[in-house]
Amino acid sequence: MAVKQKEKKPLHLAKLKIKKGDTVLIISGKDKGKEGIVSRALPQVDKVIVEGLNIVKKHIRPQGQTRQGGIIEKAMPLHVSNVMLKCTECNQPTRVGHDHRQIGEKMRKVRVCKKCQKIIQDRTRSS
Protein backbone atom coordinates (compact mmCIF):
# COMPACT_ATOMS: atom_id res chain seq x y z
CA MET A 1 0.00 0.00 0.00
CA ALA A 2 1.46 3.34 -1.03
CA VAL A 3 1.61 6.17 1.48
CA LYS A 4 0.29 9.50 0.25
CA GLN A 5 2.97 12.18 0.47
CA LYS A 6 2.18 15.47 2.15
CA GLU A 7 1.80 18.34 -0.30
CA LYS A 8 4.56 20.94 -0.29
CA LYS A 9 3.81 24.56 0.56
CA PRO A 10 4.54 27.22 -2.06
CA LEU A 11 7.98 28.69 -1.42
CA HIS A 12 6.69 32.23 -0.80
CA LEU A 13 4.48 30.90 2.05
CA ALA A 14 7.07 28.58 3.60
CA LYS A 15 8.68 30.18 6.67
CA LEU A 16 10.52 28.66 9.62
CA LYS A 17 11.70 30.23 12.86
CA ILE A 18 14.73 27.92 12.84
CA LYS A 19 17.49 28.54 10.31
CA LYS A 20 20.66 26.88 9.06
CA GLY A 21 23.45 27.21 11.62
CA ASP A 22 21.17 27.41 14.69
CA THR A 23 21.87 25.23 17.71
CA VAL A 24 18.78 23.19 18.59
CA LEU A 25 17.68 20.75 21.30
CA ILE A 26 15.67 17.72 20.23
CA ILE A 27 12.56 17.47 22.42
CA SER A 28 11.03 14.24 21.13
CA GLY A 29 11.97 11.08 19.27
CA LYS A 30 14.84 8.64 19.58
CA ASP A 31 17.45 11.41 20.05
CA LYS A 32 15.47 13.30 22.74
CA GLY A 33 17.67 15.54 24.90
CA LYS A 34 20.55 15.78 22.40
CA GLU A 35 21.83 19.02 20.90
CA GLY A 36 23.09 19.72 17.42
CA ILE A 37 23.51 22.31 14.69
CA VAL A 38 20.99 22.62 11.87
CA SER A 39 22.78 21.75 8.62
CA ARG A 40 19.75 22.31 6.38
CA ALA A 41 16.28 23.79 6.75
CA LEU A 42 13.43 22.51 4.56
CA PRO A 43 10.69 25.15 4.94
CA GLN A 44 8.33 23.72 2.30
CA VAL A 45 7.81 20.55 4.36
CA ASP A 46 8.43 22.09 7.86
CA LYS A 47 11.52 19.97 8.54
CA VAL A 48 15.17 20.48 9.52
CA ILE A 49 18.23 18.25 9.23
CA VAL A 50 20.47 18.27 12.32
CA GLU A 51 24.14 17.27 11.92
CA GLY A 52 24.91 13.86 13.42
CA LEU A 53 21.41 13.23 14.79
CA ASN A 54 18.43 11.16 13.61
CA ILE A 55 20.86 8.87 11.76
CA VAL A 56 19.44 5.90 9.85
CA LYS A 57 21.09 3.16 7.83
CA LYS A 58 20.07 3.28 4.20
CA HIS A 59 20.65 0.54 1.64
CA ILE A 60 21.95 1.99 -1.62
CA ARG A 61 21.82 0.12 -4.91
CA PRO A 62 24.90 0.45 -7.17
CA GLN A 63 24.37 2.72 -10.16
CA GLY A 64 26.55 1.69 -13.05
CA GLN A 65 30.22 2.62 -12.84
CA THR A 66 29.69 5.84 -10.87
CA ARG A 67 28.32 4.77 -7.47
CA GLN A 68 29.11 1.74 -5.36
CA GLY A 69 26.27 0.00 -3.51
CA GLY A 70 26.12 -0.77 0.19
CA ILE A 71 24.78 0.50 3.49
CA ILE A 72 25.32 4.17 4.33
CA GLU A 73 24.42 6.19 7.41
CA LYS A 74 22.38 9.28 6.64
CA ALA A 75 20.90 12.11 8.76
CA MET A 76 17.16 12.23 8.12
CA PRO A 77 14.89 15.28 8.52
CA LEU A 78 13.09 16.02 11.80
CA HIS A 79 9.82 17.93 11.98
CA VAL A 80 10.40 21.47 13.22
CA SER A 81 7.96 20.92 16.11
CA ASN A 82 10.31 18.27 17.54
CA VAL A 83 13.24 20.67 17.97
CA MET A 84 13.66 23.76 20.12
CA LEU A 85 16.06 26.62 19.41
CA LYS A 86 18.78 27.37 21.97
CA CYS A 87 19.25 31.08 22.66
CA THR A 88 22.73 32.45 21.85
CA GLU A 89 22.67 34.72 24.95
CA CYS A 90 21.09 32.72 27.81
CA ASN A 91 21.95 29.29 26.30
CA GLN A 92 18.49 27.94 27.19
CA PRO A 93 16.00 26.19 24.89
CA THR A 94 13.39 28.79 24.03
CA ARG A 95 10.55 29.77 21.76
CA VAL A 96 11.25 32.36 19.09
CA GLY A 97 9.55 35.72 18.78
CA HIS A 98 9.97 38.51 16.25
CA ASP A 99 10.49 42.19 16.94
CA HIS A 100 11.46 45.33 15.05
CA ARG A 101 14.72 46.70 16.47
CA GLN A 102 17.07 49.50 15.48
CA ILE A 103 20.18 47.96 13.92
CA GLY A 104 22.56 50.60 12.60
CA GLU A 105 20.41 53.20 10.88
CA LYS A 106 17.49 50.97 9.88
CA MET A 107 14.66 49.26 11.71
CA ARG A 108 14.95 45.53 11.06
CA LYS A 109 12.82 42.52 11.91
CA VAL A 110 14.88 40.27 14.19
CA ARG A 111 14.39 36.97 16.01
CA VAL A 112 14.09 37.39 19.77
CA CYS A 113 14.39 34.92 22.68
CA LYS A 114 11.08 34.65 24.56
CA LYS A 115 12.92 34.11 27.88
CA CYS A 116 15.58 36.85 27.96
CA GLN A 117 14.16 39.16 25.21
CA LYS A 118 17.62 39.47 23.57
CA ILE A 119 18.33 39.18 19.84
CA ILE A 120 19.18 35.66 18.64
CA GLN A 121 22.34 35.96 16.57
CA ASP A 122 22.22 34.53 13.05
CA ARG A 123 25.18 32.13 12.69
CA THR A 124 25.24 32.21 8.88
CA ARG A 125 25.45 35.99 8.57
CA SER A 126 28.44 37.99 9.75
CA SER A 127 26.71 41.02 11.22
For residues 11 and 9, give the distance between their C-alpha atoms in angstroms, rounded to a whole number: 6
39 within 8 A of 22, measured Cβ to Cβ: no
CATH class as words, domain 23-61+68-113: mainly beta
Q: Average pLDDT across each block of 10 residues of the chain; the chain has 127 residues. List them in order.
A: 73 84 93 94 92 92 87 93 92 91 86 88 64
Indicate the length of the chain as a whole number.
Answer: 127
pLDDT at 88: 86
pLDDT at 124: 62
- 36-55 burial, b for 16+ CB within 10 Å, e for fewer? bebeebebeebbbbbeebbe
- Domain ranges within the chain, ordered by starting residue: 23-61+68-113
Torsion angles phi and psi, residue 87, rounded to 5: -65, 140
pLDDT at 1: 58
